Amino acid sequence: MTDQPVSTELTTRRRDPEARPQQILDAAFHEFGDRGLAGARLDDIAKRAGVAKGTIYLYFPNKEALFREMVRSTLIAAIATAEARRDEAGPNDSAEALIRQLGAGWWAFLRTERVLTLHRLVTGELRQFPDLMAFYAEEVIARGRQLVSGIIARGVQRGEFRAIDPLVAARMYSALWMSHATWVNNRELHPSLGHDAQILDEMLDFYLHSLRPSV
């Protein structure tokens, strides 16, 4: 508050040595995200991290390990964020209200730079890393679907929604939200897209319409 000493922030060296790995992972996230595993250069990662090339090897045995760890940690961070969101939902709300609430949350979440990049990497490069794939599948996909399918199941039970397999409905949800998140990230390719809030409305409208009992 008062007169902090001429900031150690100015020099990268020796600033908070425990932060080094994270610094590197952050830089790696951007470079790998932009150019892929093969295309990214350790030199650039080091430069972006404000660290010498050799320093990376103090924390990660090689490029591939750095990539893996970067994906892992980003994944974990993403999961944590998503998790935090889950508990915001009031358990007494209607299923539709919950879907709306969750829909808005995921819509914000999925359009995040971090998540979009992760998604690109997953579809692009993760086939070479089956274990990371499995991790992604279990921790992210399955977990997300359970959340949604839980809500749907309750809605079906309550008669709010028509009889539909909650897992199937959860899959449709993923499909709509993830696809649109990707598209808004490449608006040049999809000029007919409205603004983000409007898209969310369109998805919710479409999705809920399909779930409502057809009288």
Interacting residue ranges for DNA, rule: CB under 7 A = 8, 11-15, 17, 20, 40-43, 51-55, 57-58, 61-64
Using alpha carbons, list the distances in angstroms from residue 143 to 91, 116, 136.
18, 18, 10
* Residue 141 engages a copy of itself in binding (rule: CB under 8 A): yes
* Residue 210 engages a copy of itself in binding (rule: CB under 8 A): yes
User: Minimum CB separation from a copy of itself for residue 123, in Å?
Assistant: 5
Residue 76 interacting partner from a copy of itself, DNA, none (CB closer than 5 to 8 Å by kind): none
User: Contact 29/74 with Cβ under 8 angstroms?
Assistant: yes
Q: Which is nearer to a copy of itself, 195 or 209 (CB)?
A: 209
Provide the residue count of the chain: 215
What are 57's two structure tokens? Answer: 């090897």
User: Minimum CB separation from a copy of itself for residue 168, in Å?
Assistant: 5
Contacts of 30 (CB under 8 A, 6+ apart): 48
HEC letters along 175-212: HHHHHHHHHHCCHHHCCCCCCHHHHHHHHHHHHHHHHC
By rule CB under 8 A, what string of x and - marks binding of each residue 70-89 to a copy of itself? Answer: --------------------
What are 112's two structure tokens? Answer: 């995040």
Stretch that binds a copy of itself, among 5-13, 51-59, 75-83, 199-207 (CB under 8 A): 199-207
Q: Give me the phi and psi of 45, to 5 degrees please.
A: -60, -45
- When binding is defined by CB under 8 A, the residue of 22, 137, 157, 197 that contacts a copy of itself is 137
Using alpha carbons, list the distances in angstroms from residue 213 to 69, 95, 151, 210.
46, 13, 16, 8
CB atoms within 10 A of CB 210: 13
Residue 195 interacting partner from a copy of itself, DNA, none (CB closer than 5 to 8 Å by kind): none
User: Minimum CB separation from DNA for residue 24, in Å?
Assistant: 9
Q: Return residues touching a copy of itself (CB under 8 A).
A: 34-39, 120, 123-125, 127-128, 130, 133-134, 136-137, 141, 145, 162, 164-165, 167-169, 171-172, 174-176, 178-180, 182-183, 186, 188-190, 192-193, 202-203, 206-207, 209-210, 212, 214-215
